[in-house]
Amino acid sequence: MSGSALGVLAKAAFRLGSDQGMVNAAYPTDEAGADAEETRIGGSDLIPLLSESIDEGVNLSFDETIIGSPAISGGDKVSILPSGGLDAAAFYDGLDALIFAVLGFEKPEAGDGPVAQSGTALTSTASGATSYKDAGNPFVAGDVGKFIQTLDGAAEGQVRRISAYVGAGEVTVTPAWDSNPADATTAVMAQEWLHTYECANRMADMLWPTLYSGYPTGGVGTANDQVIRRGDFAVSKNSATKPWVWRGCYVNALTISIEAGGAMNISVELLPFNLDRDSATNLQAQLTEWDWDNNSPLFQSNERVMFPDIQHFRLDDYSTGTALTSADDIGISKLELSINNNLAADDLDSVSGLYRVEPARSSHREITGSFSVPRYGNNIGDSGDLDAFDEWRQDETTLMANLKMQGTTIANVARYLNMWLPSLRITNVTKPVNGPNVVVQDVTFRCLTPTGQASGFPTHNLTTPRSEVMIQTLNQCPYNQGRDQQKEY
Amino acid sequence: MDPEQVMHEYLQGSAGMPNVQNAFDPAIGSLEIDLPYAILNSGEFVGGQLLIALAMGANAWVAGQGSNEITMADDLDVFGTLAWDKNTASSGDIWELASTYINSMTIGSETNSNLKASFDIQGYDLFWPGRTGSTENQVADLTSLPTDLATLIMHNDFVFRLNPQDGALADADRIGISRWSSVLNNNLTTPEQATPDDQMAHTNAMKTIQPCRNGFREVTFEITIPRYGQDIGDSSSIDAFSEWRTNETPLQADLMATGPSGEEFDIIFPHLRVTTVGNPVGGPAVVTNTIQFKALLRNSDSDVTFGQGTTDAGEMWMETDDGRTGAILA
């Protein structure tokens, strides 16, 4: 067989979760386990790939026993430890799965994760397997392509796409409900959704109620549901063959960077369980299904996150009573934020054999960053001091920061990517005279566990401990990344 | 020369450094050459095959074929003299490195280029014009050497074949490569100093004692295939290298170069194992395939032979049929 292997025709996707369902999910220990866990990639999973360099990590031990010859006679395979990275352009849609995978938490209550924007409140009369009926007649033909998120009752926690307009009081949804909305089941219909992602203590598979006591179990969720922060990363390298599927990928680190005159990019370090080039789940014929439009005809074109999209970068003293304001705006020309989970990646045991034991934290999570201010000589924010960065560093002042990037309006609201850093310390400031050029300030910082709820920041849903960073995305993705809501492919 | 020196760092009431003395005078360095098919001109040979033979250590002349078989020696005990004229004088001494061992050799070629080799060398003593004691060779010895160049061995002269030891290499096993290289590391002792020794005939403590193997010999091989997406050889799989790595499949390969006048330069690997395979999507460019191998001792399933049908136990063999009229290491 042969075919073109052109980088320009390649595409990549990432999808969280287990094909065994959240109750039966388990990190694989062998090829068969990985096959069972592999999820099918589809219309919500495409990522904006720039490049990838993941290696299968087959390690060999060569025989160096001394038997009278200076040459090596043989070798044996001792481990398979895939690792590597991918670079992607930052778009407003398409990165939610990766962000969730590196941070680990999105509030699971329906209506809170994600939050519908400009949504239409619904109340069901008894709906069928593929319908939502509302005696209030809220629907119009133009609602086809929107999503319905059920909020209570036995049907709570589901998200379905409206595939057809039946009448003002009924729409058809796809795929079929797992639990049909009963009479009086409330829901919300929307096209734009706000996600808030926070850091979780543990990244390995765990029960949802252990991570978050408020996990709803009255609807389709159960007390035995697991929150899964690993996924499958698939790359189509050759149009004539099946995609490469890296199964069971944990995200060890993710770096976001943006610079004046350019666009935002992300770099991701993955720890896959293994590679399948002959997947029984993800076939060559399905490559055309890989997309980020959630199969919705209403999907508005995806947009890159560009430097001019930056609404503000704000930095000032940490406070639980005084929010950041425009007076705290600082003009930056560059920013980078790195989130490193420091997962143990190379452990083997007699059960896992050649493959790695499920990665787990082996050190503190490290969230660090840097930014550049293109001029030295202006007062910093409302500090009244052009050397405020140096003094904050010297005085070990705890600060808080917010970087907001906003794109165009989707349908009713503008899409955005908002990074909240509720507690940080400056670790270094440099402003050297490098020659005849203008003097630039470079500042590095480290994010810390906040001691309280920073004023004006999104509410921490995990409080023991609170998250050092919160990332919000307002886009067209209707699915909570930690719940089993994405039923379409 | 790479002299090691001792600073006078004892405390003597001054912040400055009062003196420095030479402690050891090893002679090490590197050498790069273009490799032609060897020719004989006016009784002199032109070619780089002697350096290759010194690096590998063993050599046999096959009179019937008129070819040289170069193989690996267990105990590397061959060394040579390197001499070069830096054109600073019209007569007299030249630069000369005596008793030169080859610690490592890198040989390879790539698209739009010729076969090249580089060597990490260590010698006993380095002479230069003006140094006390004359060199074995003089300017006149070098200026009398033939100046017409032999034909370079080009990348496009090579045919590369590889298979999983499932029979003699054939046309069906040909694989198009845009680049290849092989590294032989003899892991010799680094220059070592010792006081004079009668048994070793070592008389000068400023010079190194004779190098010898200090570890396993390592031979690696790397190729780049310009297109990922073509079946590998007759394997019917575009991912054959990855599969061979995962399955620990032993392989065999040869690189056969044929010159315009029928000269030959062959490199044979009787037993290879894939160690890494790289075919990342690095951007919008075409996806290439880079594979690295470890060369191992010949195993019983290997089918490759020298031209006369014989084999050798070593990890890499070379066979040359050119202007040479006798063994290289005569």
What digits encode the pLDDT tens for the residues B8-24? 878 777 777 778 888 88
Q: Which two tokens stand for residue B292?
A: 């690295």
Alpha-carbon distance of B229 to A315, in angstroms, equals 51
Q: Is the pLDDT of residue A489 over 80?
A: no
A297 neighbors A174 (Cβ within 8 angstroms): no
pLDDT of residue B68: 96
Which one, of A81, A237, A273, A60, lies nearest residue B244 by Cα?
A60
Of A4, A7, A75, the CB nearest to B282: A7
Q: Is A233 helix (H, G, I), strand (E, B) or coil?
A: strand
Contact: A72, B74; criterion CB under 8 Å: no
SS (H, E, C) A7-33: HHHCEEEEEECCCCHHHHCCCCCCHHH
Mean per-residue pLDDT for B108-134?
Answer: 88
Q: Is A212 helix (H, G, I), strand (E, B) or coil?
A: coil
Of B74, B231, B281, the CB nearest to A49: B281
Percentage helix, strand, coil for chain A under 3-state DSSP, each rounded to 5: 10, 40, 50
Q: How confident is the model at residue A466 (pLDDT cuts 50, 70, 90)?
A: very high
Mean per-residue pLDDT for A434-447?
Answer: 91
pLDDT of residue B236: 83
pLDDT of residue A52: 96
pLDDT of residue A341: 96
> What's the Cα-to-Cα distance from A399 to each of A221, A317, A455, A456, rounded to whole Å?
38, 4, 12, 14
Contacts of A109 (CB under 8 A, 6+ apart): A214, A216
Alpha-carbon distance of A273 to A348, in angstroms, equals 12
Which residues are paired to A357 by β-bridges? none
Mean per-residue pLDDT for A214-224?
Answer: 96
What b-and-e string marks burial along B52-75, b requiring 16 or more CB atoms within 10 Å of the CB? bbbbbbbbbbbeeeebbbbbbbee
Separation in Å, CA of A65 to nearest CA in chain B: 10
Q: How confident is the model at residue B133 (pLDDT cuts 50, 70, 90)?
A: low
Q: What percent of chain A has pLDDT over 90?
A: 88
Across chain A, mean pLDDT equals: 94
pLDDT digits (tens, 9 = 90+) for A2-32: 566 888 889 999 999 888 888 899 999 999 9
pLDDT of residue B70: 97
Q: How confident is the model at residue B197 (pLDDT cuts 50, 70, 90)?
A: confident
pLDDT of residue B69: 97
Q: Is the pLDDT of residue B131 over 90?
A: no
Interface test with B, best of A9, A54, A58, A267 (most B CBs within 10 A): A58
With CA atoms as reference, the chain A residue closest to B277 would be A55
Mean per-residue pLDDT for A213-220?
Answer: 95
A412 neighbors A142 (Cβ within 8 angstroms): no
Amino acid at residue number A247? R
Across chain B, mean pLDDT equals: 90
Alpha-carbon distance of B252 to B303, in angstroms, equals 8
Q: What percent of chain B has pLDDT over 70?
A: 98
> What's the Cα-to-Cα distance from A277 to each of B98, B247, B270, rounded to whole Å?
55, 14, 29
Separation in Å, CA of B41 to nearest CA in chain A: 37
**Residue A426 buriedness (CB in 10 A; 0-12 / 13-18 / 19+):** buried
- Between B6 and A452, where is the model more confident? A452
B273 neighbors B315 (Cβ within 8 angstroms): no
With CA atoms as reference, the chain B residue closest to A3 would be B229
Alpha-carbon distance of B15 to B8, in angstroms, equals 12
Contact: B278, A241; criterion CB under 8 Å: no
pLDDT of residue B299: 96
Separation in Å, CA of B226 to nearest CA in chain A: 10
pLDDT of residue A4: 64
Q: Is B136 helix (H, G, I), strand (E, B) or coil?
A: coil
Q: Quick one: DSSP state of residue A322?
A: S
Contacts of A354 (CB under 8 A, 6+ apart): A77, A78, A79, A80, A348
pLDDT of residue A197: 98
Q: Is the pLDDT of residue B98 over 70?
A: yes
* DSSP track, A243-292: PEEEEEEEEEEEEEEEETTSB-EEEEEEE-SEEESS-SSS-GGGGGG--S
pLDDT digits (tens, 9 = 90+) for B149-159: 789 999 999 99
Mean per-residue pLDDT for B257-268?
Answer: 96
- For chain A, list residues whose CB is within 8 angstroms of any CB belonging to chain B: 1-8, 10, 12, 49-56, 58, 60, 62, 64, 69-77, 80, 84, 235, 237-238, 240-241, 277
Q: Which residues of A touch B229 (CB under 8 A)?
A: 2-5, 237-238, 240-241
Contact: A4, B229; criterion CB under 8 Å: yes
pLDDT of residue A76: 94
Mean per-residue pLDDT for B229-250?
Answer: 90
Task: Establish, for the pair of chains A and B, how many residue pairs have beta carbons separated by less than 8 Å.
Answer: 114
Q: Which residues of A touch B74 (CB under 8 A)?
A: 69-70
Alpha-carbon distance of A211 to A86, in angstroms, equals 29
Alpha-carbon distance of A149 to A218, in angstroms, equals 15
Cis amide prior to A175 (ω within 30 degrees): yes
With CA atoms as reference, the chain A residue closest to B298 would be A73
What b-and-e string marks burial along A209-232, b requiring 16 or more CB atoms within 10 Å of the CB? bebbeebbeebbbeeebbbbbbbb
Q: Is the pLDDT of residue A259 over 80?
A: yes
Of A6, A55, A72, the CB nearest to B296: A72
Mean per-residue pLDDT for B108-130?
Answer: 92
Mean per-residue pLDDT for B215-234?
Answer: 92
A115 neighbors A193 (Cβ within 8 angstroms): yes
Q: How confident is the model at residue A166 (pLDDT cuts 50, 70, 90)?
A: very high
- Between B62 and B131, where is the model more confident? B62
Amino acid at residue number B22? N
pLDDT of residue B208: 87
B124 neighbors B196 (Cβ within 8 angstroms): no
Q: Which residues of A touch B221 (CB under 8 A)?
A: none
Q: How confident is the model at residue B142 (pLDDT cuts 50, 70, 90)?
A: confident
Q: Is A154 helix (H, G, I), strand (E, B) or coil?
A: helix
pTM value? 0.86
Q: Is the pLDDT of residue A1 over 90?
A: no
- Between A9 and A45, where is the model more confident? A45
Q: How confident is the model at residue B1 (pLDDT cuts 50, 70, 90)?
A: low
pLDDT of residue A3: 65
> What's the Cα-to-Cα distance from A97 to each of A197, A479, A480, rounded to whole Å?
10, 10, 9
Which one, of A154, A195, A290, lies nearest residue A481 by Cα?
A195
Q: Is B76 helix (H, G, I), strand (E, B) or coil?
A: coil
Reported residue count of chain B is 330
Q: How confident is the model at residue B134 (pLDDT cuts 50, 70, 90)?
A: low
A138 neighbors A189 (Cβ within 8 angstroms): yes
pLDDT of residue A6: 84
Interface test with A, best of B281, B301, B312 (most A CBs within 10 A): B281
Q: Is the pLDDT of residue A324 over 70?
A: yes
- Between B119 and B13, where is the model more confident? B119
What is the distance of C-alpha A114 from the center of its chain? Answer: 13
pLDDT of residue A113: 94
Contact: A54, B280; criterion CB under 8 Å: yes
Q: Which two tokens stand for residue A358?
A: 């499920």
> What's the Cα-to-Cα distance from A274 to each of A17, A278, A358, A443, B114, rounded to whole Å?
16, 12, 12, 39, 40
Which one, of A305, A301, A291, A293, lies nearest residue A256 by Cα?
A305
